[in-house]
């Protein structure tokens, strides 16, 4: 796995597309290969226990909950990590430039950084931090859920409720993955 030293791996796409599953799989492989790895998750996501990342199909990974990128730096200093994984990166606290600078510093030091995060919100607007990070990636994977209306590759996470605030934590209670065509039809109908 030494070919991933100093490399940035990003898993993005809509909800239910397998971003967290892919991050989990990567982290577990680095662990098997004997690398010092910690997976972090932003404190905003309160769905599951603090010390665990959980996929929609209920597989789990040990995790450390953090408020911002600076807390990840502190862990990195204390544990001299080889691999830093961050789930739900769109919710990580801190200014975009601080997140980008810190990730670049990790990469310059030869750390492997694995990120998973939504590319777009419920309205199809890009999450700014993910938009900024995507061109920096050495390996960029855009994952696709299955559109729940027509069965083609989904494009966006459609919100099923009328809530308009950007952040609403939830799963199938709040969101459904839709392809562009079904999303536009849904919007016309509202």
Ligand X SMILES: Nc1ncnc2c1ncn2[C@@H]1O[C@H](COP(=O)(O)OP(=O)(O)O)[C@@H](O)[C@H]1O
Please state the closest distance from residue 131 (CB atom) to ligand X, in A. Answer: 17
Degrees (nearest 5) of the Cα angle 176, 180, 183? 50
* Per-residue binding letters, 93-132, with Zn ion (x by CB under 5 A): ----------------------------------------
Residue 100 near ligand X by CB under 6 A: no
Half-sphere exposure of 146 (CA within 13 A, CB side): 3
CA distance 51 to 160: 29
CA distance 18 to 116: 9
Nearer to ligand X, 71 or 119 (CB): 119
Please state the closest distance from residue 98 (CB atom) to ligand X, in A. Answer: 24
Binding residues for ligand LXEULUCI, rule: CB under 6 A, are 15, 19-20, 45, 118, 121-122, 157, 166-170, 175
Under rule CB under 6 A, which residues in 1-40 are in contact with ligand X? 15-21
Q: Are 81 and 75 in contact (CB under 8 A)?
A: yes
CA distance 134 to 9: 9
Sole binder of ligand X in the list 25, 29, 56, 131 (CB under 6 A):
56
């Amino acid at each position: 796995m030494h070919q991933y030293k100093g490399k940035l791996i990003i898993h993005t796409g809509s909800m239910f597309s397998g971003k967290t599953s892919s991050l989990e799989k990567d982290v577990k492989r680095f662990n098997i290969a004997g690398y010092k790895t910690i997976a972090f998750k932003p404190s905003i996501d309160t769905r599951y226990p603090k010390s665990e990342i959980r996929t929609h199909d209920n597989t789990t990974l040990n995790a450390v909950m953090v408020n911002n990128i600076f807390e990840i730096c502190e862990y990195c200093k204390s544990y001299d990590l080889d691999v830093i994984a961050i789930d739900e990166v769109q919710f990580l606290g801190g200014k975009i430039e601080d997140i980008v600078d810190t990730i670049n510093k990790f990469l310059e030091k030869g750390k492997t950084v694995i990120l998973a995060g939504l590319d777009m919100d419920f309205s199809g607007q890009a999450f700014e931090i993910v938009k900024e990070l995507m061109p920096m990636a050495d390996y960029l994977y855009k994952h696709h859920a299955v559109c729940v209306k027509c069965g083609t590759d989904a494009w966006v996470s459609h919100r099923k409720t009328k809530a308009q605030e950007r952040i609403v934590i939830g799963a199938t209670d709040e969101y459904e993955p839709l392809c562009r065509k079904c999303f536009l039809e849904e919007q016309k109908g509202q």
